[in-house]
Amino acid sequence: MRVGVWGRFRRHPLAVFGFVTVAVLCLAALFSPFIAPHDPLLLDTSRRFVAPFARAGFVLGTDELGRDTLSRLLYGGRISLTVGLVAMVTTVVTGAVIGLLAGYLGGLIDTLLMRFVDTMLCFPQIFLLLVIAAFVPPSLISIALIIGLTSWMEVSRIVRAEILHLKEQDFVQAARALGASGGRIMFQELLPNIAAPLLVAATLRVASAVLAESYISYLGYGVQPPLASWGNMLTNAQGYFDTVPWLAILPGAMITLTVMGFNFLGDGLRDALDPRLRMDK
């Protein structure tokens, strides 16, 4: 089985590309204090707007305050990925619990929870994100939680659909006959059986959470300066856009690369783990 999964995964060059990209980015974020050549917050106005590859020691140049761009990108990646991962965990946990309860318990609870999902899906995510982010004092955790709590709905629908299919199967009946409680059946019998679709959803959710963080940071309601995130680096760079475009190109390229990496990885995992779930049946 394991060979099969890996074999199917390996056949997708883009999935492998996604995996490698994600691995490199995560390692870079994890070890950024050791890799970064400079302190990302160190100001030095004597070396503002150094172009990439123009001066030794500043491979990707410096920004409007003379801070090293490469170090800021590395630390910014750390922030963006942390927010992305915490938001993903929030999304998956909320979505899984609501999906499990709705799918397993059924009846009135199912109806109420699913109407709640429908209601949440009526709001454009950015509008909700921005309003709540403006009301709550910004911190990394609050940003991640806000993103997570406004994007769990699709996960709960996926989980519910899987549970509706699974709960009629023999092993669930057997557990019930043995007197297992509802909680035990939901979390110990059913949950492990939806690990594959959950893993796929989780990977794709990191991509959209990183994207969401960049949107609200870009608009000024996410990660606050002087802390660097790829989104707020772009906000700063916008002011010097016509003369020093690389300051805007680099963080945007990092966001795109990260989101793309998680998207390709998620897609590849979907094909490898569960051929049933493929987009093209």
Partner 1 sequence: MLSYVGRRVLQSVPLLIGVSIIGFALMHLAPGGPLAVYTLNPTITNQDIERIRIVLGLDQPVHIQYFKWASGMATGNWGYTFFGGRPVLGVILERMPATFLLMGSALSLAILIGCTIGVLGAVRRYSVFDMMATSGAMVALSFPTFWFGLMAIYLFAIKLGWLPSGGMYELGEEDNLLDLVRHLILPCLVLALVITAVWSRYTRSAFLEVMHQDYMRTAKAKGLRAPARLLRHALPNALKPLIALLGIELPALFSGALVTETIFGWPGMGRLFVDALNMKEYPVLMGMIMFTALFVIVGNLVADILIALLDPRVRLS
Rounded to whole angstroms, the Cα distance separating 68 from 236 reads 14
Q: Across the chain, how many H-helices and E-strands are there?
A: 13, 0
When the beta carbons of 175 and 277 are compared against partner 1, the nearer one is 277
Q: Tokens 């669930």 map to which residue? A: 172
By rule CB under 8 A, what string of x and - marks binding of each residue 20-49 to partner 1?
A: ------------------------------
Q: What is the largest CA-CA distance in the chain?
A: 76
Q: Is the preceding peptide bond at 124 cis, omega within 30 degrees of 0?
A: no
Q: Which amino acid is at 186?
A: M
Residue from 19, 58, 152, 264 that binds partner 1 (CB under 8 A)? 264
Using DSSP, state whether 62 is helix, strand or coil.
Answer: strand
- Distance in Å, CB of 103 to partner 1, minimum: 20
When the beta carbons of 116 and 187 are compared against partner 1, the nearer one is 116
Q: Which amino acid is at 207?
A: A
* Residues 88-147, interacting with partner 1 (CB under 8 A): 115-116, 118-128, 130-132, 134-135
Q: Could you say which DSSP state residue 192 is in?
A: G
Kindly state the tokens that stand for 113. Answer: 């929870």
- Distance in Å, CB of 280 to partner 1, minimum: 5
Q: Is the preceding peptide bond at 226 cis, omega within 30 degrees of 0?
A: yes
Rounded to whole angstroms, the Cα distance separating 240 from 75 reads 22
241 binds partner 1 (CB under 8 A): yes
Give the number of residues written for the chain: 281
Rounded to whole angstroms, the Cα distance separating 14 from 167 reads 35
* Residues 166-185, interacting with partner 1 (CB under 8 A): none
CA atoms within 13 A on the CB side of 83: 31
Rounded to whole angstroms, the Cα distance separating 34 from 270 reads 35
Residue from 14, 51, 93, 174 that binds partner 1 (CB under 8 A)? 14
Q: Give yes or no for a contact between 217 and 223, defined as CB atoms under 8 angstroms apart.
A: yes
> Which one of the spans 35-43, 87-95, 171-179, 216-224 is the region binding partner 1 (CB under 8 A)?
216-224
When the beta carbons of 22 and 190 are compared against partner 1, the nearer one is 22
- Distance in Å, CB of 111 to partner 1, minimum: 9
When the beta carbons of 31 and 123 are compared against partner 1, the nearer one is 123
> Which one of the spans 41-49, 77-85, 182-190, 237-245 is the region binding partner 1 (CB under 8 A)?
237-245
Q: Which amino acid is at 59?
A: V
> Which one of the spans 23-31, 33-41, 93-101, 233-241 is the region binding partner 1 (CB under 8 A)?
233-241
Q: Give yes or no for a contact between 281 and 14, defined as CB atoms under 8 angstroms apart.
A: no
- Distance in Å, CB of 175 to partner 1, minimum: 34
> Which one of the spans 23-31, 52-60, 165-173, 254-262 is the region binding partner 1 (CB under 8 A)?
254-262
- Chain-centre distance for alpha carbon 65: 30
83 binds partner 1 (CB under 8 A): no
What does the binding site for partner 1 look like in residue numbers (CB under 8 A)?
Answer: 14, 115-116, 118-128, 130-132, 134-135, 207, 211, 214-215, 218-221, 231, 234, 238, 241-242, 245, 248-249, 251-252, 255-256, 259-260, 263-264, 267, 279-281
